[in-house]
Structure 1
Amino acid sequence: MTTILVTGGTGTLGRHVTERLRAGGHEVRVLSRHTRPYAVDLREGGSGLEAALAGVDTVVHCATSPRGGDEKAARNLIGAARRAGVIHLVYISIVGVDRVPFGYYRSKLAVERLVEDSGIGWTVLRATQFHDLVVTVLQGLAKLPVVLLPARVKDQPVDVTEVADRLAELALDAPAGRVDDMGGPEVRTFDSLARAYLEATGRRRAVVGIPLRGAAYRAFRDGGHLAPDQAVGKRTFDEFLKGRFAADVTRR
């Protein structure tokens, strides 16, 4: 039986990875900032991290924060993992981190390089954005009377449970390096995703595309974050919305 540590194990992705690994009979430790017995802030490291890694064979690194600190967290994790004798480090990244000059993407790419240079057997999977994230963004935008979107930008959302399935599979295999990207089943304009969300939630809003400036916007507009040749996901955004907001539809 393999002992696996999942960082960010209570998060959107990590909790699904944990469930799948445990269902396979593996011992899984969940590391997060607030969940005992392995409540650890990776940015600080320390004895709690060393204890969490003791006897661990594989680490699935899902912990991340758009607010910063991912590189410091990765350095602490990798150093402690080396000392603990971990043999496989699996990292979830984002499609386009090497093509889109966006701050958070640059941080994810830097962590990829730390993983590659760690001296530990490694696997990196890049995925497109989760359905959940697209909905979170649209929920915020729809608070205004008009939904303002970056013009001419497309997205390819993927279901988080499908990414969790793939990560769990990779964690149980030998280190594979950079594996094929994982994209959702459809590439759609962002305004079509917004209209689908508004319909699913019964909101009435105008949707307006706003041209933006900057290298990051141009890269998103040019599809640097998409993986149309790796559209391996099955669950569409519309199917996700139907499941997520079924109760709202029933009440209308």
Structure 2
Amino acid sequence: MTTILVTGGTGTLGRLVVERLTADGHDVRVLSRHSRPYAVDLRAGGPGLDTALDGVDTVVHCASAPRGDEDAARHLITAARRAGVGHLVYISIVGVDRVPLGYYKTKLAVERLVEESGLDWTVLRTTQFHDLILSIVRSAARLPVMPVPSGVSSQPIETAEVADRLAGLASAAPAGRVPDMGGPEALSFREFADLYLRASGRRRLRVPLPLPGRVARALREGGNLAPERAVGKGTFAEFLTRTERARPSTP
């Protein structure tokens, strides 16, 4: 039986990774800021991190925040080396080396820290999750006129499929940078908006919203997509069917 620590183990992805690993018979520890007995803020480090890592074979690093991810990774790596952790698995995002978004730059920097950590490691990049696309179109639909980013597509993937892949990687030998995971189809945001409005029973006038700047240009060029790695199975439409069916229709 392997002892595996999952950082961010109460989050959208981390929670599912914990479930998969536990079901596979591993001894799983959950680390997050508020989850006892391993309540640790990775951005601050501290002795609690050493306690959480004591006796751990593998770390799956799912924790992420708008700020402080590089500090968190440094603290985690330093403590993992002290504890003799044998394998560090990190989840990243497709396009972190092509889209000049601040958060993406941070994810790329953390990838490099992992690669240079002195630990055996595995890095998986995936396209964005269905949940993020839903949050974007749902927020836009709250307005009387629905702005839709023009010329931009996304290739979302089912979070549970990523969790399955991460659990498998954590149970296997370190593999370095593994092939990316992309969702089954890339759709424009106009298509995402149409699917959402149909599933939620809303009616909105949709207005194209041109996006300026380098980030938008990289997105229009497909820097966030992995068409050659469209290995996901669950579509956005199927995800919407599950999440919107129980919600009351909103005019």
Aligned equivalents of 2:137 and 2:45: distance in 1?
35
Q: Which residue of 1 is the match for residue 31 of structure 2?
A: 31
Please state how far the C-alpha of 1:195 moved relative to its aligned partner. Answer: 1.2
Please state how far the C-alpha of 1:104 moved relative to its aligned partner. Answer: 0.4
Please state how far the C-alpha of 1:248 moved relative to its aligned partner. Answer: 3.2
Please state how far the C-alpha of 1:138 moved relative to its aligned partner. Answer: 1.8
Asked whether the 8 Å contact 1:158–1:185 carries over to 2, the reply is: yes
* Structure 1 position 242 matched with structure 2 position 223: no
* Structure 1 position 15 matched with structure 2 position 15: yes
Q: TM-score, normalization: structure 1?
A: 0.97
User: Where do 1:142-181 residues align within 5 Å?
Assistant: 142-181=141-180
Letter in 1 for 2:77: I
In percent, how many aligned pairs have the same letter? 66
User: Where do 1:33-182 residues align within 5 Å?
Assistant: 33-65=33-65, 67-182=66-181
* Structure 1 position 225 matched with structure 2 position 224: yes
Aligned equivalents of 1:108 and 1:207: distance in 2?
33
Letter in 2 for 1:129: Q
Please state how far the C-alpha of 1:241 moved relative to its aligned partner. Answer: 0.5
Please state how far the C-alpha of 1:216 moved relative to its aligned partner. Answer: 0.6
Letter in 2 for 1:245: E
Please state how far the C-alpha of 1:250 moved relative to its aligned partner. Answer: 8.9
Q: CA RMSD in A?
A: 1.4
SS of 2:246 mapped into structure 1: helix
Aligned equivalents of 1:135 and 1:86: distance in 2?
37
> Deviation digits for residues 133-166 of structure 1, max 9, x if unmatched?
1111222222111221221000100000000000
**Structure 2: runs of 5 or more not aligned:** none
Asked whether the 8 Å contact 1:134–1:157 carries over to 2, the reply is: yes
Aligned equivalents of 2:222 and 2:116: distance in 1?
29
SS of 1:13 mapped into structure 2: helix
Asked whether the 8 Å contact 1:4–1:27 carries over to 2, the reply is: yes
Q: Aligned residues, how many? A: 251
SS of 2:64 mapped into structure 1: coil
> Deviation digits for residues 28-72 of structure 1, max 9, x if unmatched?
00001111111111000101111100000000000011x211101
Letter in 2 for 1:206: L
Q: Which runs of 4+ in 1 moved over 2 A?
A: 248-252
Asked whether the 8 Å contact 1:200–1:249 carries over to 2, the reply is: no
Aligned equivalents of 2:79 and 2:206: distance in 1?
48
Shift of the 103–23 alpha-carbon distance from structure 1 to 2, 3 Å rule, reads same
Aligned equivalents of 1:214 and 1:183: distance in 2?
25
> Deviation digits for residues 105-145 of structure 1, max 9, x if unmatched?
00000000000000000000000000011111222222111
Asked whether the 8 Å contact 2:201–2:250 carries over to 1, the reply is: no
Asked whether the 8 Å contact 2:95–2:223 carries over to 1, the reply is: yes
Letter in 2 for 1:35: S
User: Where do 1:191-202 residues align within 5 Å?
Assistant: 191-202=190-201
Task: Compare 146-155 and 21-30 and name the one that shifted more.
Answer: 146-155
* Structure 1 position 187 matched with structure 2 position 186: yes
